[in-house]
């Protein structure tokens, strides 16, 4: 797709660096990669542990040509591209957890953080931040959830250059399909890889908890939950799902 790649030894966060790159007036998509992050960002205000040269810290920034409409299901599409990439490298048992976690046997192997800038009704850019645990086998820093890495799953070192190459291609393909056909074109593949399809789960949003059975996702990428009050659809970056 003609993306410009910028490799850094050390940044605060590749998402932050990608956002700053916009002030240079970049028009074409830019990929920011770093060997380490000093302030890696996770979802819901959490830190992302980012040891030097072990994992993949990747941020793609591009302009949303269709504004807010193009955001529908975007983070799920990115999750699918990451999943395809991991499968291609041999991590066959990886699956998706709504909205955009990638898990192997209940352990997190990759995470995604989207950040928006500008006016969704006018000129607007999105940063797609992807963290993939590639060669991490142990860490001094506490990680508040079960995790694994490509190296741990394969029992062999992961070639991070190969990972970036595959990811660029899969992401390019998924984003093009999403842009041209919309999220509905990718919905079936996403659902087929959803680990919690049909499971009883609890959705939390701040202090609120909603219980229900996971029916799947809709054409906008919202979670479909069968609750005591019938079928309800949920979307939004602050939501999180766990098994009941
Ligand atoms: C999550 O909490 O699951 C999302 C984690 C996203 C981490 C990646 S690493 C590259 C990019 N830069 C950041 O600061 N965060 C994302």
Among protein residues, the one with the nearest Cα to ligand 1's atom 15 is: 41
* C-alpha of residue 40 to centroid of ligand 1, in Å: 6
Is the CB of residue 18 below 6 angstroms from any atom belonging to ligand 1? no
Q: Which residues are catalytic?
A: 43, 108, 242
Per-residue pLDDT at 67:
77
Is the CB of residue 147 below 6 angstroms from any atom belonging to ligand 1? no
CB 127 within 8 A of CB 19: yes
pTM, two decimal places? 0.96
Is the CB of residue 46 below 6 angstroms from any atom belonging to ligand 1? yes
Per-residue pLDDT at 112:
97
Q: How far is it, in rounded angstroms, from Cα 65 to Cα 123? A: 8
How far the first Cα of the chain sits from its last, in Å, is: 42
Which residues lie below 8 Å from residue 94, measured CB to CB, with a gap of 6+? 83, 86, 87, 102, 103, 104, 109
Q: What is the ipTM of this complex?
A: 0.99
Helix (H, G, I), strand (E, B) or coil at 167: helix
Is the CB of residue 37 below 6 angstroms from any atom belonging to ligand 1? yes
Ligand 1 atom showing the smallest separation from residue 57 Cα = 10
Pocket test for ligand 1, best of 51, 76, 129 (most atoms within 8 A of CB): 129
For each successive 10 residues of the chain (244 residues), what is the average pLDDT? 91 97 83 98 94 97 85 95 98 96 97 91 91 94 93 97 98 96 96 96 91 96 96 89 91
Does the domain spanning 200-243 belong to CATH 2.60.120.10? no
CATH no. for 4-192:
3.30.930.10
Residue with tokens 């309800």: 232
Per-residue pLDDT at 222:
96
Ligand 1 atom showing the smallest separation from residue 42 Cα = 2
Hey, how many other C-beta atoms are within 10 angstroms of the C-beta on 178?
22
Ligand 1 atom showing the smallest separation from residue 58 Cα = 10
Domain ranges, ordered by start, for the chain: 4-192, 200-243
Is the CB of residue 40 below 6 angstroms from any atom belonging to ligand 1? yes
Q: Which helix (H) or strand (E) holds 111?
A: strand 107-118
Pocket test for ligand 1, best of 18, 19, 111 (most atoms within 8 A of CB): 111
For residue 6, CA distances in Å to 2, 10, 11, 126, 215 come to 13, 12, 12, 17, 41
Per-residue pLDDT at 236:
80
Per-residue pLDDT at 1:
52
Per-residue pLDDT at 136:
95
Q: How far is it, in rounded angstroms, from Cα 34 to Cα 4? A: 14
Structure letter (DSSP) for residue 45: G
Helix (H, G, I), strand (E, B) or coil at 130: strand
Ligand 1 atom showing the smallest separation from residue 50 Cα = 9
């Amino acid at each position: 797709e003609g993306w410009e790649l910028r490799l850094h030894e050390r940044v605060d966060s590749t998402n932050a660096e990608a956002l700053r790159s916009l002030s240079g007036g970049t028009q074409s998509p830019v990929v920011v990669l770093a060997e380490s992050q000093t302030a890696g960002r996770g979802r819901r205000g959490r830190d992302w542990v980012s040891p030097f040269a072990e994992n993949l810290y990747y941020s793609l920034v591009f302009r949303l040509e269709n504004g807010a409409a193009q955001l529908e299901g975007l983070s799920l599409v990115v999750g699918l591209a990451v999943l395809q990439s991991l499968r291609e490298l041999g991590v066959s048992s990886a699956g998706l957890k709504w909205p955009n976690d990638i898990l192997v046997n209940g352990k997190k192997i990759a995470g995604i953080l989207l950040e928006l800038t500008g006016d969704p009704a006018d000129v607007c850019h999105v940063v797609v931040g992807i963290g993939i645990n590639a060669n991490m086998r142990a860490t001094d820093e506490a990680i508040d959830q079960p995790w694994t890495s490509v190296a741990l799953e394969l029992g062999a070192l992961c070639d991070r250059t190969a990972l970036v190459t595959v990811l660029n291609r899969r992401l390019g393909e998924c984003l093009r399909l999403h842009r041209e056909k919309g999220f509905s074109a990718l919905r079936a593949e996403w659902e087929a890889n959803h680990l919690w399809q049909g499971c009883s789960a609890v959705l939390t949003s701040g202090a609120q908890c909603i219980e229900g059975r996971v029916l799947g996702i809709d054409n906008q990428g919202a979670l479909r939950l069968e609750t005591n009050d019938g079928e309800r659809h949920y979307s939004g970056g602050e939501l999180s799902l766990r098994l009941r």
